[in-house]
Structure 1
Amino acid sequence: MLSLALSALALSASGATALSSKRHASLAQRMKSERPALRSPVWHGMGRDSTFQLEDNCQGSTFFDCFDYFTDSDPTHGDVVFVNESDAWSLGLVSSTSDQAFLRVDNTSTLASGQGRNSVRLGTKKTYDGALFVLDVERMPTGCATWPAFWTVSQSQPWPLGGEIDIIEGVNLNTVNQMTLHTGPGCEPNTPSTDYLAQQLGTTCASSDGANAGCGFLDKNTTSYGAGLNTAGGGVFAMHWDGGGVSIWHWTHDEQPCDLADQSGSPDPSSWGTPTAAWVADGCSPYTYLKDHQAIIETTLCGDWANSNYAAAGCPATCSDAVMDPSNFNDAYWQINYFSVFTES
């Protein structure tokens, strides 16, 4: 199954998977704003030049206070209905305990052919221009027809000019995580091979409708996505974006850095070692290509990428057929310990 997933994901790098970038289509457009001057990078053990302060902590019973609910039609053409806040709670698609939050796909309704299944897409109420984003999950959605993702995208620029950073993404039964950067023309990071651990899929980040593979990486560790992540008891994902570039890390809970595990101090990415994926500023200035990002957590169903990968993943019948049967989505839920955003000073 790993070989099937990797071959399907490699195909995506040439244009199939990054159809995820079409998720931008109905996002609000606002005016450009200036961005701060470049700063030296702080990852890869290159020395710390700033302090991280906790700006937002979304956890447990207050987790959903950080987010708005997206209710437009799915830009990736999925067989899904993204419900509003009231319906999400009344239908049991979102819930929380004192220390965890849950986002579910409906697994009770038998649907007619072509009917969309209810799900949830959340976007942060705030937007960010450079930050450290940390998502700690106990488990994530998995199964045929699913397309879960955690990502950031510009709210002030038409896609892809303001950029998109895919932190967790995959479809169907894929076994490893794909991380991708989508930008406007001219972004080609000259990232040394010693600066990342994953398999690099491409170096041209420029994207457009019909040519939107972006510049991606495949994690080599099967604990990074889907059933493998869930079996490992979840994990922690961190994305750091500043003037030096963008880096993404993934750890199991046992492997995570102490300054994240205790949640009591200021994290220090410079001490975390080589990231899983990295895009350096050389060849792609982050504050030129990435502006005013909202963080998004969602699960869509079928859609452009999941449809194209469905048979190769070994899933039965068709993706739309799978959506009709609620039992296919018993494992299609996020169980989230916390989402935090740190800014630098």
Structure 2
Amino acid sequence: MKSAALLAAAVLSPTALASYSLVQEFQGANFFDGWVFYGNYDNTTDGDVTYLNKSAATADKLAYVTSGGQAVIKVDNTSDVVYNDKRDSVRITTADYYPAGSVILFDATHLPYGCSVWPGFWTKGENWPEGGEIDIVEGINGMTANQMALHSENGCSASSSATASGSIGTTNCSEAAGCTYTETKANSYGAGFAAAGGGVWATLFASTGIEIWFWSRSDIPSSISNATTSISTDDWGTPSASYPASSCDIETYFKPQQIVLDITLCGDWAGLDTIYPETCPISGGGAANASSCYLQNVINQGNQTALATAYFEINYLKVFNSNETLVTSGGASSSVAAASATSEASASASTSSTSNSSSSGAGTVRVWGVGVSVTLVALSAWMLL
């Protein structure tokens, strides 16, 4: 009876499978191998940016690796932008997909923040938005706490009875804002995050549920600090956000996910005239309007104070899982050996300089670990679409 009870608990818990093997990592000089640069205007949040392709982003130093090995993604803060034009930025999407049963680690020392700035570290299904979206890191303007969310078609919701340390917000995942949690731990976003040396997010994407953890630099568990070829969830504690399958059927609403990093400006959230003035002053003390964010931050030389902090500085992003399986868009699957992001460089290079969309078109869709996988991303102190 005791063993049967333990087995039942294991089946119900998203973190029941506590050990995962590394299948892919983005780190150091090869960080940008295995990504597709979007190369077009902001088509998801109506932001006032143009996302550059790989060659332009590299030439303009909006995507590069520092001498210390940190990857930087940033908004242009040197150009004089004329009225009605947009400011250059970067959005990158992994060429590969990661199925339910994945863990993602993200380690960063700096996140983009400031008036008009709207970064995101998130995942999406191939047929977005039908394949679901997981927002792991997101904030706007002068926010000081990270917001996490799921976005799905109608039928998925967050449960107020789920065990999580974050503050639950909206619960209907099909609403525009998604079903949200706000981080309650200190230094999860903005200047506080950078001053604390950054931190790490871990995201478990499993058929039994989706969970997100955050640790400031001084609180990172040893299982993450010491992780090389495998990782255990045993010492992770209570997640900041928890979406159990009991209130959202993960297998129905969330298909294999690509990882996305981007930074936009203004747009449908940061630029709203009802939202922008909450943390950003209006020039001259007047009332905010639909153009306030754009006029104060994007055109001419822009808001140099905000643009100077509009960048990601990332130590690493790692994906762990329990299986190694290749899945094509036609549904066929086969076993493949675990590989680092470096091995995907040729596939990315062939499309990154000319792509004007994500890599979710027809053809082969590589999906790692059809089982339970974990992706970890480490961000150093630092920026989104």
Query: What is the TM-score of this pair, normalised by structure 1?
Result: 0.82
CA drift at 1:256 = 0.9
Aligned residues: CA RMSD: 1.7
Q: Given the superposition, is the C-alpha separation of residues 108 and 189 from structure 1 closer, same or farther in structure 2, using an over 3 Å criterion?
A: closer
Q: Deviations over 1:12-49 (max 9, x none)?
A: xxxxxxxxxxxxxxxxxxxxxxxxxx954243xxxx43
Task: Please tell me whether the aligned partners of residues 53 and 344 of structure 1 are also in contact (alpha carbons under 8 angstroms).
Answer: yes
Regions of 4+ moved over 6 Å = none
Matched, 1:311 2:306: no
Amino acid at match of 1:196: A
The superposition leaves residues 103-160 of structure 1 with CA deviations (integer Å, 9 ceiling, x where unpaired) of: 11111111112210000001011011121011100111111110011000111x342x
Q: Give the 5 Å matches for 1:61-210.
A: 61-75=29-43, 76-97=45-66, 99-130=69-100, 131-155=102-126, 157-159=127-129, 161-190=130-159, 192-193=161-162, 195-207=163-175
Alignment-mate amino acid for residue 135 of structure 1 = F
Structure with bigger gyration radius: 2
Q: Output aligned runs, 1:1-345, within 5 Å.
A: 40-43=12-15, 48-49=16-17, 51-75=19-43, 76-97=45-66, 99-130=69-100, 131-155=102-126, 157-159=127-129, 161-190=130-159, 192-193=161-162, 195-207=163-175, 212-308=176-272, 309-317=275-283, 318-321=292-295, 322-324=297-299, 325-326=301-302, 327=304, 328-345=306-323
1:139 partner SS: coil
The question of whether the paired residues in 2 share the 8 Å contact of 1:59 and 1:100 is answered with: yes
CA contact (8 A) 1:41 1:242 kept: no
Unaligned runs of 5+ in 2: 1-9, 284-291, 324-385
CA distance in 1, matches of 2:160, 2:234: 17
Question: Paired residues, what number?
Answer: 297
How far apart are 1:191 and its partner, in Å? 5.2
Q: Distance in 2 between matches of 1:183 and 1:72?
A: 25
Give CA-to-partner distance per residue, 1:210-251, whole Å, 9 cap, x none: xx1221001123411111111111110111010110000110
User: What's the TM-score once normalised by structure 2's chain length?
Assistant: 0.74
Conserved 8 A contact 2:112-2:309: yes
SS in 2 for 1:56: strand
Question: How far apart in 2 are the matches of 1:190 and 1:93?
Answer: 39
The one-letter code matched in structure 2 to 1:337 is: N
TM-superposition CA deviations, 1:48-68 (whole Å, max 9, x none): 435311111100101000211
Q: Percent identity?
A: 35
Q: Which amino acid aligns with 2:116?
A: A
1:154 and 1:232 mapped to 2: Cα distance?
A: 33
Task: Output the CA distance in 1 between the equivalents of 2:201 and 2:282.
Answer: 31
Q: Which amino acid aligns with 2:39?
A: T
